[in-house]
Amino acid sequence: MCGIAGLFRFGRPPDTRPIEAMIAVQQHRGPDEMATCEVPDGALGAARLAILDPAGGQQPRLDASGRYCIALNGEIYNHAALRAEAASRGVRFRTTCDTEVVVERVAERGFVAALADLEGMFGLAVHDREEGCLWLARDRLGEKPLYWTSLEDGTFLFSSEIKGLLAHPAVRRELDPAALGAYLAFEFVPTPRSIYRGIRRLEQGTWLRVDARGERRGSFWTQPVPRASRGSGIGLDGWAGRLSAAFDASIATRRVADVPVGVVLSGGLDSTAVLAAAQRGASEPVRTFTVAMPEDPTFDESARAAAVAARYRTEHRVVPLRPGQLPELLDAIGAQLCEPLGDGSLPATWALYREVHAAGFKAVLSGDGGDELLGGYPTYLAHRWAAGLAWLRTPLRRAVARLPVSFDNVSLDYRARRLAEGLGQPVGRRNQVWLGAFLPEELPDALAADLWSEIDALAAAAASAAPACTAMYLDQRLYLGDCVLAKVDRASMASSVEVRTPFLDHRLVELAAACPVGLKIGLRATKRVWRRALCDRLPDDVLHGPKKGFGTPLGPWLRGPCSQLLDDLPERVAPWLAPAQVQRLVREHRAGRADHRRRLWTLLVLGRWLHGPWGPYGSPCLPTKKARASAKAASGVPSRMSTQTR
């Protein structure tokens, strides 16, 4: 796992001096080694977290001929098979790392053809010395980020995080109002936008070629739309067997590493399935990690996680999270995020991966993606009948306004209010309203003007599917791709931890999409086929236990022990939202008249980001060489920033 960056100008080489700063600000992504490589058209750089071949896997790396130079962020899980295949044709390898396998594959087959052979998560860049071009690509599900921009003088920049681009002195911080509106409504900025105008996020499953003639892009994988029909008549048991076999294969490849691999555990269906599969192939007890919220039982999952850990005899570590930690976590998040992300589980996730790092682990398995692929959210049940109940929106809104306010996790009154707001909307917009923070009508016109463009375009791609299928497709592309995976990447990499997600093997994703939706969700049941697949593997209390959802108790904390965080909120976000509107939200939440946790947390993150080092009103914290050397010495990692010229 790494942070990568590069700068290129074709025809007239650019000033490559900023490349070191572009890599240095991503040192958290790769604290083990930093290096750059100058090539005729520019420079590549990488900050490396050594998971495979720690001693020999340095990058950027050249192929054997010297034609191609690669920087790779991610893991290629089938690298051993690709290496063996290439070796049988006479290709000689100097390392056992996956980066060398990829660059030699590109040398053999060409960039686009090589992408189809890669199984894994990645953001990668390859410079072709002979053709005079740069290739970029991002993995099929968007597990790893990759941003790019072009300067006025024709210089092209890319980076794993926006902060790598902002480290270049010529990159301007011009906030995109449409992206900000999307963030406030959805809690994330949809791809291909970023929060900054002119900075783009490369789409999932997409490649980009840049040369003297400009930019050209294409796709090497297309997200499948889940099927509605029963089709082949395989049946519930047949599909369950296929899914469990694909899942086992995915687990096997994701356990391969030259460092120990742990498991993050909630005790729910998906994380327990990951643990059970990982434990079967382990020669010693698996290490597991769980967040505990002892003061908030409706959020706390630690008891059932501990029961699962005891059943599988893991070495279990509990990470306690209490309200007194929230101010420091919010400050840390604001200092690290290069664009705002309003997911309410971000503080708990941040604390979790800090503890994983403190325990000495560089890699863990997680259960992310199972709900979006296999029909785990109750919204999929609601979509089946919501279209016919548009006429209920007004009376339902009046009725739910009289419900008592609860600050529990996923409370009844919250679900009822969101349900009412989504009725009467097209399926794509309804899905986002149900999941989001601010309603479109609550935003200033300047922020809401282009709110639905990405959502409507994606919904149109799945327009022929049943509403639940369209919602799953949108959740995989948007909520999973742009929110959950972004949250996991930023929180884990801030602590130099790699997260591997077995549910996101693209073959498993394709298989899950082909499974008819009626086998995933029933009239009241979710994940039907997945529960059948696990019926002989997991205990009944896990198979049929209620879905709790991973979150942070932001509602009660912001009303009680952390209420002071709201004191200066109107001033922090005043350039974009009227102070009177924010003050009203704060008053109502503190008084218990309304639960505004999602709106307030979205604004808290925005306020910290706006004035933080990577926001439009802050200044970047660019570490000096002395500071980098001191940080490495403190962590026990030898200081190294090497530069190659080719």
Whether residue 51 contacts residue 75, with contact meaning beta carbons closer than 8 Å, is answered with yes
Which residue type, as a one-letter code, is found at position 496? S
Considering only 89-98, 228-237, 508-517, which range has the smallest mean pLDDT?
228-237
Query: What CA–CA distance (Å, rounded) separates 322 from 548?
Result: 19
Question: In the structure, what pLDDT confidence band is assigned to residue 635 with cuts at 50, 70 and 90?
Answer: very low
User: For 570-583, how does the pLDDT look when each residue is reduced to its tens digit (9 = 90+)?
Assistant: 999 998 999 999 99
Q: Cα 521 from chain centroid? A: 25
Q: What is the DSSP string of 306-325?
A: HHHHHHTT-EEEEEE--GGG
User: What is the distance between the alpha carbons of residues 54 and 18, in angstroms, rounded to a whole number?
Assistant: 27
3-state secondary structure of 301: coil
Q: Is it the case that residue 452 has pLDDT exceeding 70?
A: yes
Cis peptide before 613 (omega within 30 of 0): no
| pLDDT average, residue stretch 86-100 | 92
Contacts of 346 (CB under 8 A, 6+ apart): 333, 487, 491, 552, 605
Q: What are the tokens at 268?
A: 């729910």
Identity of residue 371: D
**How do beta strands 214-219 and 206-211 pair?**
antiparallel
Residues 6+ apart with CB under 8 A from 92: 64
Give the number of C-alpha atoms closer than 13 A to the C-alpha of residue 167, restricted to the C-beta side.
28
Q: Strand 641-645's sheet: what is its strand order?
A: 200-201, 147-150, 156-159, 2-8, 42-48, 33-39, 641-645
pLDDT tens figures, 509-525: 999 999 999 999 988 88
Which run of H or of E encompasses 603?
Answer: helix 597-610
Average pLDDT, the chain: 91
Lowest mean pLDDT among 108-117, 171-180, 302-311, 623-632: 623-632
pLDDT at residue 284, rounded to an integer: 87
Closest CA to 57 of 257, 230, 215, 214: 257
CA dist., res. 454 & res. 460, Å (int): 10
Query: Burial letters for 32-49: b for 16+ Cβ neighbours within 10 Å, e otherwise?
Result: bbbbbbbbebbbbbbbbb
Residue 318 makes CB contacts below 8 A (sequence gap 6+) with: 290, 291, 292, 302, 305, 306
Q: Which residues of 312-323 are buried (b: 16+ CB within 10 A; e: fewer)?
A: bebebbbbebeb
pLDDT (0 to 100) of residue 634: 37
pLDDT for the residue 632: 42
Residue 85, pLDDT > 50, answer yes
3-state secondary structure of 336: helix
CA angle 119, 120, 121 (to 5 degrees): 150
Res. 22: pLDDT tops 50 = yes
| Inter-CA distances, 240 with 77, 227, 233, 246, 540, Å | 24, 16, 13, 10, 17
Q: How many residues does the chain have?
A: 646
Which of 243, 228, 28, 13 has the alpha carbon at shortest distance from 134?
Answer: 13
CB-based contacts of 593, cutoff 8 Å, min separation 6: 405
Residues 628/641, Cβ–Cβ less than 8 Å? yes
Predicted confidence at residue 639, as pLDDT, reads: 33
**Contact between 189 and 339 (Cβ < 8 Å):** yes
**Residue with tokens 């325990």, as numbered in its chain:** 359
- How many angstroms separate the CA atoms of 39 and 645, rounded? 6
Residues 6+ apart with CB under 8 A from 193: 176, 178, 179, 182, 200, 201, 454
232, pLDDT greater than 80: no
Kindly state the DSSP code that residue 196 receives in the 8-state scheme: B
Six-digit token string for 67 = 């034609």
pLDDT of 414 reads 73
Helices (H), 293-411: 302-311, 326-336, 346-358, 370-374, 378-386, 393-400
pLDDT of residue 524: 83
Q: Yes or no: say if 83 and 105 are a contact pair by the CB < 8 Å rule.
A: no
Nearest to 157 by CA among 41, 40, 66: 41
Mean pLDDT of 632-641: 38
Element (H, E) at 513: helix 506-514
Which carries the bigger pLDDT value, residue 96 or residue 488? 488
Place of tokens 């294969």: 249
pTM over 0.85: yes
Domains of the chain: residue spans and CATH: 2-222+625-645 (3.60.20.10), 235-374+485-543 (3.40.50.620)
Residue 222 has pLDDT above 50, yes or no: yes
| Closest by CA position to 217, among listed 315, 135, 106 | 135
Cα angle 626-631-632, degrees, rounded to a multiple of 5: 100
